[in-house]
């Protein structure tokens, strides 16, 4: 039964949008849609509680472009996903590096010698980025194409239409359709089996938002802007106030730092007389494995030696590295060479194994400056002399250990070499903290062995052959001095 | 309502016609009334309040534990040398695994045109999301300084001044789990919009009209909208299918990419995925049987639905059992002494009890589903499914703890002891899960009405 409605299509209060016909089952809806399309209606739509099969051709609905939108986004996501990982972790192809980028520089992790960028390791994240982007494209693309959300729809004002989401089926023919005619369309709908027909009207009187809502929306929007504005303001200016500490016990930990005053107070006085946090060992106590009373082994000084007051203490010979050799030569310390041991301590057995150990340690710690052949042509020394030559560094050349002042056993006994390694001499720094005692003696043994040979060992020859810097005949000649090896500029 | 359908048992297959998936002779309005009746009732059943009250109590326990953890640091857990991954990752993998059934039912069964999924997919998807929430909690609080959680993501911060390491499986996990949670929510919500529109159109209260009106986005059921909606749903299903497989694969990479004996195996991805489906379906059955009984949804969630799920549980349970066997074979066949020892130790070492709980619950007990009575009797299948979930928790426990406690260096061997915080957080996570699920049952459509109507025989076919 059609409803009688004699209202004109537009009056002051409302505008006719279309006619909505109700059907009771999906098949009659599909038939009605088919007939409406054949009758020439194009601005039609059907409404059903579930997708009705066969309604797309009946209404003439074209296939949506949504899959292509998703495909486009997915292909883009491949590049975004891979690009993000390449930029942040692997930006090192050829000359191009993202590490020095002014904005968001890359950060490369060297892990187990693996390449910075390798496709297999970057597939999982790329895949997830593709799926996430495509899912967003599908979800939001579908709503966008459907012009939803649309919270105000005149259809919802029809009480009967509420069953469109329950168990009834509706066909709407819009007033905007060229074929639409209030009377004849209604007759046609009845003819196609409509159970009832309603007018869909847009209420013109109730179109405006309530005035208070606009005011509240404006105020809300302004209030929402405040936090980001505050954050940007804080980011854009300097402040003397300390930054916010979210969890204070991580920033201010309940511990004492070295070389500070002790926090432990008793009756307003420091608990410890020296007021320090750090506690010195009890006088006369020795930590396990730290007993180094044997001066021959640990210092290279004869155990029966009694120091005189006028002697320069070994500590006095340690320099900061800023002093030059000239300075050292200008005021040579008054040295009592007789205090140094001239034999290896009894704990050290001099054999081939010791010398070989000494060679390994020497090549690690000493060769950088003194050179593998100990003739003072280490790479650091060469480079530093080159820089000093153009005034970019201040440098005292590392000595050749074949130099008479070093190799002379009278002036430079074993104990003195040991002390030089342990505590440094001139501008050379101390290595006692880095090299264990036995290894230092091993180096002494190797240095003495080098000095015995007097000429370059085979190793140094082959090094120079490889570098190709000098003639083969030159390399076979006598030891080259550091000055010979110095090149003007790199 | 139409006349009562004489068919009461739809578990028998008849070659002449399809067994009906909806019983009780329900028509379209009948389906709507049944599902909306849950939410339209003035008061939920008393048992609902009891469950919600218990769940909220447990949730508060969880909140207290998390607060304690944040104030005192992760040392409140039992994680310590050598088991630096203790219960938190066990619970994480347990919950993430459970969270796989929902998307599997929604997406994979949808692509395979398994119509029976329509009655259970909504609740399963909701369960998925709540399980992922529980899962995300554990690695979330495990990072120690949760207030800088965003360092997990590639967001440029001056404070950190470095990027995540994209070659680490733990970072893949961040991407996989957050993508999975996001896509699951999109899928769940999109599927629910037509049903929320039904709620909107039936709602009588002002607040309800406003909230459901907003959530339904103005859905009218237009044929043009349905057309795009169905295609979008298919695309999402096609996206979610590889996603659901990738998530547990990547979770298994957390273990498999490391060198620890017992973890470093290529079988982990398929084995983890099968286990996830296994535990997820068990959780769906555990939840749906009481819900169905409580709300009288026997006509929509029929015995046939439950039986189908039990068949999947039995199938995946046997896959998991096969994986256990293959692990032992490979441990022997590889000839690696560490690997062989790791597996010998699992079965016969000092965690033998955990291993045999796992095997009994996961492999032996589900075998009862060969018997038709067992897989069609609701109260019985719930008991079996609870055992399955106990077994699956122990599976993750066995993998994580036994491998870490017996690694390469015997001097670092130890026995893992959970603390009370570990135990209460596991218990509390069930509180979080059941709080969310109980609220879901009350305020959102438990069954996908629109989808159920779509697979019902058309009225004129009768």
What residue ranges do the domains of chain B occupy? Answer: 28-461
Contact assignment for B222 to A46 by CB distance below 8 Å: yes
| pLDDT attached to residue A182 | 86
Q: How many CA atoms lie within 13 A of A100 on its CB side?
A: 4
- Return d(Cα B25, Cα B6) in angstroms, integer: 8
Q: Is A477 helix (H, G, I), strand (E, B) or coil?
A: coil
| pLDDT attached to residue B157 | 73
* Min distance B356 CA to chain A CA atoms (Å): 34
Closest residue of B to A25, CA-based?
B459
Task: Point out the residues of chain B with pLDDT beneath 70.
Answer: 1-9, 14-18, 158, 460-462
Closest residue of B to A119, CA-based?
B167
Among A138, A171, A193, most B C-beta atoms within 10 A, so best to mutate, is A138
How many helices (H) and strands (E) chain A has is answered by 18, 6
Is B430:B20 a contact under the CB 8 Å cutoff? no
Facing residue for A132 by CB, picked from B179, B450, B454: B179
Nearest CA-CA partner of B401 in B337, B320, B342, B325: B342
| pLDDT attached to residue A9 | 53
In chain A, domain spans: 10-205, 295-485
Closest residue of B to A55, CA-based?
B223
| pLDDT attached to residue B7 | 52
Task: Work out how many CB contacts closer than 8 A connect A with B.
Answer: 201
* Min distance A64 CA to chain B CA atoms (Å): 6
* Min distance A278 CA to chain B CA atoms (Å): 28
State whether residue A50 sits within 8 Å of chain B by CB: yes
Contact list, B246 vs chain A (CB under 8 Å) = 124, 127-128, 131
| pLDDT attached to residue A210 | 75
Nearest CA-CA partner of B111 in B228, B274, B246, B236: B236
Facing residue for B217 by CB, picked from A104, A124, A148: A148
* Min distance A179 CA to chain B CA atoms (Å): 20
Contact assignment for A49 to B221 by CB distance below 8 Å: yes
Facing residue for B213 by CB, picked from A111, A141, A151: A151
Closest residue of B to A29, CA-based?
B223
| pLDDT attached to residue A206 | 66
Is A104:B156 a contact under the CB 8 Å cutoff? yes
The structure's pTM equals 0.74
Is B395:B363 a contact under the CB 8 Å cutoff? no
Among A21, A59, A77, A124, most B C-beta atoms within 10 A, so best to mutate, is A124
Contact assignment for A109 to B450 by CB distance below 8 Å: no
Task: Point out the residues of chain A with pLDDT beneath 70.
Answer: 1-12, 92-95, 206-208, 246-247, 308-334, 455-490
Facing residue for A139 by CB, picked from B154, B190, B226: B190
State whether residue A136 sits within 8 Å of chain B by CB: yes
Closest residue of A to B212, CA-based?
A151
| pLDDT attached to residue A260 | 86
Match 């406690």 to its residue by tokens. Answer: B405
Is A47:B220 a contact under the CB 8 Å cutoff? yes
- Return d(Cα A478, Cα B112) in angstroms, integer: 86
Q: What are the tokens at B111?
A: 């692509």
Among B30, B213, B221, B229, most A C-beta atoms within 10 A, so best to mutate, is B221
- Return d(Cα A476, Cα A226) in angstroms, integer: 79
Phi–psi pair at A201, nearest 5 degrees: -125, 140
Contact assignment for A49 to B194 by CB distance below 8 Å: yes
Contact assignment for A124 to B217 by CB distance below 8 Å: no
Nearest CA-CA partner of B99 in B188, B20, B219: B188
Is A387:A468 a contact under the CB 8 Å cutoff? no
Contact assignment for B167 to A88 by CB distance below 8 Å: no
Closest residue of A to B454, CA-based?
A50
Closest residue of A to B194, CA-based?
A165
**Fold annotation for B28-461:** Formate dehydrogenase/DMSO reductase fold (1.20.1630)
| CA dihedral sign of residues A118, A122, A124, A127 | negative
Chain A segment 230-249 residues within 8 A of B by beta carbon are 246-247
The top-level CATH class assigned to A295-485 is mainly alpha
Facing residue for B228 by CB, picked from A142, A150, A165: A142
Contact assignment for A166 to B202 by CB distance below 8 Å: yes
- Please give the ipTM for the structure prediction: 0.92
- Return d(Cα B388, Cα B359) in angstroms, integer: 10
């Amino acid at each position: 039964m059609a409803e009688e409605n004699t209202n004109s299509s537009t009056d002051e209060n409302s505008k006719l949008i279309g006619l909505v016909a109700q059907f009771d089952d999906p098949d009659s809806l599909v038939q009605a849609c088919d007939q409406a399309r054949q009758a020439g209606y194009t601005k039609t739509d059907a409404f059903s509680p579930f997708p009705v099969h066969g309604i797309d051709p009946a209404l003439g609905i074209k296939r949506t472009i949504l899959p292509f939108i998703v495909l486009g986004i997915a292909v883009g996501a491949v590049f975004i996903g891979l690009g993000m990982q390449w930029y942040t972790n692997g930006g090192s192809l050829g000359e191009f590096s993202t590490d020095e980028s002014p904005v968001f520089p890359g950060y490369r992790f060297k892990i187990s010698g693996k390449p910075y960028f390798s496709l297999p390791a970057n597939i999982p994240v790329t895949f997830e980025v593709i799926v996430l982007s495509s899912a967003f494209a599908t979800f939001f693309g579908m709503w966008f194409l459907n012009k939803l959300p649309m919270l105000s729809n005149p259809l919802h004002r029809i009480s009967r239409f509420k069953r469109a989401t329950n168990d009834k089926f509706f066909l709407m023919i819009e007033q905007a359709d060229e074929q639409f005619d209030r009377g004849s369309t209604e007759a046609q709908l009845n003819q196609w089996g409509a159970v009832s027909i309603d007018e869909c009207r847009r209420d013109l009187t109730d179109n405006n938002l309530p005035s208070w809502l606009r005011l509240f929306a404006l105020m809300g929007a302004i209030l929402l802007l405040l936090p980001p504005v505050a954050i940007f303001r804080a980011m854009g200016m300097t402040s003397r106030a300390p930054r916010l500490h979210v969890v204070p016990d991580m920033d201010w930990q309940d511990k004492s730092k070295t070389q500070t005053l002790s926090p432990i107070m008793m009756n307003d006085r420091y608990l410890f007389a020296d007021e320090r946090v750090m506690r010195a060992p009890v006088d006369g106590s020795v930590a396990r494995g730290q007993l180094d009373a044997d001066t021959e082994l640990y210092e290279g000084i004869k155990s029966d030696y009694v120091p005189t007051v006028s002697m320069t203490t070994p500590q006095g010979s340690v320099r900061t590295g800023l002093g030059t050799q000239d300075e050292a030569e200008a005021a040579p310390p008054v040295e009592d060479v007789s205090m140094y041991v001239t034999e290896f301590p009894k704990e050290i057995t001099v054999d081939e194994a010791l010398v070989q150990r000494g060679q390994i340690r020497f090549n690690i710690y000493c060769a950088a400056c003194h050179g593998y052949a100990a003739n003072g042509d280490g790479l650091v020394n060469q480079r530093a002399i080159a820089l000093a030559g153009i005034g970019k560094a201040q440098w005292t050349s590392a000595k050749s250990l074949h130099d008479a002042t070093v190799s002379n056993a009278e002036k430079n006994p074993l104990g003195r070499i040991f002390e030089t390694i342990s505590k440094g001499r001139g501008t050379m720094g101390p290595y006692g903290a880095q090299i264990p005692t036995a290894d230092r003696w091993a180096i002494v043994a190797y240095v003495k062995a080098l000095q015995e040979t007097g000429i370059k060992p085979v190793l140094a020859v082959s090094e120079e052959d490889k570098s190709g810097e000098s003639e083969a005949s030159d390399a076979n000649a006598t030891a080259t001095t550091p000055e010979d090896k110095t090149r003007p500029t790199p | 309502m139409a006349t009562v359908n004489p068919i009461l048992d739809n578990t028998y297959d008849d070659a002449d016609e399809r067994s009906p998936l909806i019983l009780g002779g329900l028509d379209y309005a009948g389906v709507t009334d049944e599902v909306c009746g849950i939410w339209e009732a003035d008061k939920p059943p008393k048992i609902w309040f009891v469950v919600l009250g218990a769940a909220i109590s447990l949730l508060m326990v969880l909140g207290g534990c998390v607060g304690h953890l944040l104030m005192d640091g992760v040392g409140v857990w039992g994680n310590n040398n050598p088991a630096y991954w203790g219960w938190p990752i066990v619970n994480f993998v347990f919950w993430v695994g459970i969270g796989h059934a929902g998307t599997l039912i929604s997406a994979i069964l949808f692509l395979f045109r398994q119509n029976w999924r329509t009655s259970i997919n909504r609740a399963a998807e909701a369960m998925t999301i709540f399980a992922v929430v529980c899962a995300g909690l554990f690695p979330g609080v495990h990072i120690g300084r949760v207030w800088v959680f965003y360092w997990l993501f590639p967001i440029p911060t001056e404070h950190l001044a470095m990027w995540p390491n994209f070659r680490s499986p733990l970072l893949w996990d961040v991407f996989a789990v957050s993508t999975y949670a996001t896509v699951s929510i999109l899928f769940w919500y999109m599927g629910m919009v037509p049903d929320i529109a039904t709620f909107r159109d039936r709602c009588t209260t002002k607040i309800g009209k406003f909230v459901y009106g907003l959530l339904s986005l103005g859905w009218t059921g237009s044929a043009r909208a349905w057309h795009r909606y169905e295609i979008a749903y298919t695309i999402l299903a096609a996206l979610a299918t590889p996603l659901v497989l990738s998530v547990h694969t990547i979770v298994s990479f957390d273990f498999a990419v490391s060198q620890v004996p017992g973890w470093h195996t290529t079988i982990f991805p398929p084995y983890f995925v099968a286990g996830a489906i296994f535990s997820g379906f068990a959780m769906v059955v555990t939840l749906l049987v009481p819900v169905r009984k409580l709300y009288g949804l026997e006509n929509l969630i029929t015995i046939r639905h439950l039986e189908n799920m039990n068949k999947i549980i039995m199938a995946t349970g046997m896959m998991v059992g096969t994986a256990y066997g293959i692990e032992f074979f490979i441990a022997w066949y590889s000839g690696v002494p560490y690997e062989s020892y790791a597996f010998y130790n699992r079965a016969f070492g000092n965690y033998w009890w955990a291993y045999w709980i796992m095997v009994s619950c996961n492999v032996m007990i589900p075998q009862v589903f060969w018997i038709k009575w067992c897989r069609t009797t609701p109260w019985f299948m719930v008991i079996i499914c609870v055992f399955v979930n106990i077994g699956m928790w122990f599976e993750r426990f066995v993998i994580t703890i036994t491998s870490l406690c017996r690694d390469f260096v015997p001097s670092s061997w130890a026995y893992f002891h959970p603390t009370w915080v570990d135990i209460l957080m596991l218990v509390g996570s069930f509180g979080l899960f059941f709080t969310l699920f109980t609220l879901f049952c009350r305020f959102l459509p438990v069954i996908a009405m629109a989808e159920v109507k779509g697979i019902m025989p058309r009225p004129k076919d009768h």
